[in-house]
Amino acid sequence: MQTQSLVGGKWIGADDGSTLAVTNPATDELVASVPCGGAAETGRAIDAAWGAFKPWAARTAADRANLLHKLSSLMQRDTDRLAKLMTLEQGKPLAEAKGEIGYATSFLDWSAEEAKRLNGEILPASAPDKRILVLRQPVGVTAIITPWNFPAAMITRKLGPALAAGCTVVIKPAEETPLSALAIGELACEAGFPDGVINIVTGKPAEIGGAIFEDPRVRKLSFTGSTSVGRMLMASASKNLLRLSLELGGHAPFIVFDDADLDGAVAAALACKFRNAGQTCICANRFYIQAGVYEEFAAKFATAIGGLRVGDGFEEGVHVGPLINDDAVTKVESHIDDARAHGGKLLTGGKRVKVDGRADRFFAPTLVGEMSSDMLISREETFGPVAPLARFDSEQEVIELANASEYGLAAYFFTRDGARTMRVAEALEYGIIGANDGGPSTAQAPFGGVKHSGFGREGGKYAMDEYTELKYVSWKL
Ligand code: SIN
């Protein structure tokens, strides 16, 4: 297990020797201690990234692509080890953690191929003796700040396109899950990335962020996390006019029309809501079911939820692991209490689950009926395993309900009507739409939100725009 920060190709501790404890959310046991770095360590990481930037950008695209593919294949080789590490520090079931490693490597491979297609253009000029060239160049040193819910994939989704474009990076992983990041760093060294191209600093968020915002050599920040932190980062980024990609919170509506394939919708709802114990930015947070199928959907969904097993992520057959910390459990409880106080009906779950010898952080997958717009859960992200259901009558009504949110990350709907599919997809004010699909995430698609869910897109060719600048050359012959 790698437990040091990576700066300029060297593994280092914090200057003052201080450390940050990484604990297993399922047991509260200490997993490891990592450096509690701050401004000084981040400054040296930026020095290293700055020093490595020009030589890295000058390499051929094929050369950068080969290294990205190499990192991907090393991660695939070590899937079991990386997945165990992830379950240890994050809690998600081992099978899900393995799936995340595959998802994480898909971003490296896709970006590697995009590196080779990063074309410029020659435009028709307005004078016979002129030529207009448009060059695409890397933005420069890039800061990457990632969350704890997907400790590997949220790094590679940014790292892949940044490196493919020719940027060098300073990564600050979440305090809860630095070990996955450091393991990826170690494999990057094995793959042969030059020193300074990838730097990873673990430690104090405010100090690390401060050093990033104060240093004019950093030209870009890519962040995934909460909307409240995103707002603060955006304010701080104004000092050096840092380019930003912000993938922030969500509050996804999940709509089931009465002509939908109900069994398909239930299966999608189960996967979409309860993956990672509901701790996913794009997971469904509020369900709108057309009145004619409400009772049937609720009954089928409750039965399916009853088949989910809660437990330690290392146990065979477990579907739902622990929540990340005590605050997360408290928030889930407060949403359920508030829903019940406002007339919500508990259909299944609703309480903590005792798992022998484990921390009190396991929560039963929960279904609440009769959601109304005065409930907290109808407007706030729960980030936990709770599905609230509301009835609706018409298409127009449900589009208005779905769009009545400050968030705009993902939305889902289920129908067999082709024309409605297009109408509703166009009308929903969200960056990602799952039409009869509860799992839209994939490496080639543009992932990102609108409104208070942020801006910028990750994935596919679209991600390359986030890490490149256009330069216009007006050439007089
Ligand atoms: C997220 O929670 O933002 C990541 C979800 C995904 O990539 O599917």
**pLDDT tens track for 49-78:** 999 999 999 999 999 999 999 999 999 999
**Is the C-beta atom of 285 inside 6 A of ligand 1?**
no
What strands, in cross-sheet order, belong to the sheet with 121-123? 121-123, 130-138, 468-476
What is the pLDDT at residue 182? 98
Q: What is the CA(154)–ligand 1 centre distance, in A?
A: 8
Q: What is the CA(280)–ligand 1 centre distance, in A?
A: 6
Instruction: Among 177, 226, 281, 383, name the best residue to mutate to test ligand 1's pocket (greatest count of ligand atoms within 8 A of Cβ).
Output: 281
d(CA 242, CA 342): 44
**Backbone torsion region of residue 308, taken as left when φ is above 0, otherwise alpha when ψ lies between -120 and 50, otherwise beta:** beta
**Is the C-beta atom of 282 inside 6 A of ligand 1?**
yes
User: Which tens digits make up the pLDDT trace of 74-85?
Assistant: 999 999 999 999
**Is the C-beta atom of 410 inside 6 A of ligand 1?**
no
What is the pLDDT at residue 59? 98
**Is the C-beta atom of 202 inside 6 A of ligand 1?**
no
User: Which tens digits make up the pLDDT trace of 294-326?
Assistant: 999 999 999 999 999 999 999 999 999 999 999
**Is the C-beta atom of 441 inside 6 A of ligand 1?**
yes
Which whole-number Å values give the CA distances from 178 to 20, 110, 359, 476, in the listed order? 10, 24, 21, 52
Q: How far is Cα of residue 20 from the mean position of the Cα atoms in its chain?
A: 23
Residue nearest to atom 8 of ligand 1 (CA): 441
Question: What is the token pair recorded at 152?
Answer: 């590997």
Q: Which residues pair with 389 in a beta bridge?
A: 287
What residues of the chain score a pLDDT lower than 50?
none
Residue nearest to atom 6 of ligand 1 (CA): 441
What is the pLDDT at residue 423? 98
pTM of the model: 0.97
Cα-Cα end-to-end distance for the chain = 58
Instruction: Among 222, 447, 453, 458, name the best residue to mutate to test ligand 1's pocket (greatest count of ligand atoms within 8 A of Cβ).
Output: 447
**Is the C-beta atom of 149 inside 6 A of ligand 1?**
yes
Question: What is the token pair recorded at 137?
Answer: 């160049």
Q: What is the CA(118)–ligand 1 centre distance, in A?
A: 26
Instruction: Among 383, 441, 442, name the best residue to mutate to test ligand 1's pocket (greatest count of ligand atoms within 8 A of Cβ).
Output: 441
User: Which tens digits make up the pLDDT trace of 246-270?
Assistant: 999 999 999 999 999 999 999 999 9
Q: What is the CA(286)–ligand 1 centre distance, in A?
A: 17
Residue nearest to atom 3 of ligand 1 (CA): 281
Residue nearest to atom 1 of ligand 1 (CA): 281
Q: What is the CA(411)–ligand 1 centre distance, in A?
A: 13
Active site residues: 247, 281
* Reduced DSSP (H G I as helix, E B as strand, rest coil) percent helix, strand, coil of the chain, to 5: 40, 25, 35
d(CA 200, CA 335): 36
Contact (Cβ atoms closer than 8 angstroms) between residue 282 and residue 249: no
What is the pLDDT at residue 239? 97
Q: For residue 280, give the ligand 1 atom closest to its CA.
A: 2
**Is the C-beta atom of 150 inside 6 A of ligand 1?**
yes
What is the pLDDT at residue 205? 97
Q: What is the CA(279)–ligand 1 centre distance, in A?
A: 9
User: Which tens digits make up the pLDDT trace of 368-403?
Assistant: 999 999 999 999 999 999 999 999 999 999 999 999
Q: What is the CA(40)–ligand 1 centre distance, in A?
A: 31
Backbone angles phi, psi at 436, to 5 degrees: 55, 30
351-360 contacts at long range (C-beta below 8 A, 24 or more positions apart): 353/310, 355/26, 355/310, 355/311, 355/312, 355/322, 357/27, 358/26, 358/27, 358/311, 358/312, 358/322, 359/25, 359/26, 359/27, 359/28, 359/322, 360/329
Instruction: Among 101, 154, 273, 407, name the best residue to mutate to test ligand 1's pocket (greatest count of ligand atoms within 8 A of Cβ).
Output: 154
Contacts of 283 (CB under 8 A, 6+ apart): 250, 252, 272, 273, 274, 275, 276
